[in-house]
Structure 1
Amino acid sequence: MNNHPTFTPSTPTPLEYSLFSPSKAAEQQRLQEDWTYIHSFLRQIYPPPAKVPKFEENEETLKALLALANANEKADEGWSVFCAVERLGVEELEREEETQTLTKDRNTSILTTLHTSLSNSVSLNLTSHAKTAVILNSTATSPTTLATSILTLSSNISSLQHQLSTLETLTTTLTLQTCFLDSELKTLTSPSFKAEKSLPQKTLETLRQTKLLKAKIGEYDQRLLRNSSSSSIPEALLSSVESARAEVERLQKRVRGVEDGISVYEGVAPEPREVRRQMQELRRELEGWVERRDELFESMVAGRR
Structure 2
Amino acid sequence: MAHLPPNAAIFSPSVARAAASAAKDWSYVDTWLQRKFPSRGPPPFERNADTLRVLLALASANEAADEERALVARLEAETLQQLRAHEEDDDGDTNALQSAREAILTSLETSLTRDGQTALTAMAALALQTHTPLPNPPALGAELISLSTQTATLEQTTARIQTLTTYLAREASATAKLATDLRPPSPHHHPPQEEDDTQSRSSSSKNNSNPEKTGSYHPPPNLALQNLETQRRIKLLSARLPDQRDKVTTLAKSLSSSSSSSPPPSISQIRQEEETYLSLLATKQALDAQVQAFQGLPPDTERARQELEGLRAELRRMTARRDEVFEGLVERETPRKGGGAGAAARRLG
TM-score (norm 1): 0.39
Relative contact order higher in (CA < 8 Å, ≥ 6 apart) = 1
TM-score (norm 2): 0.35
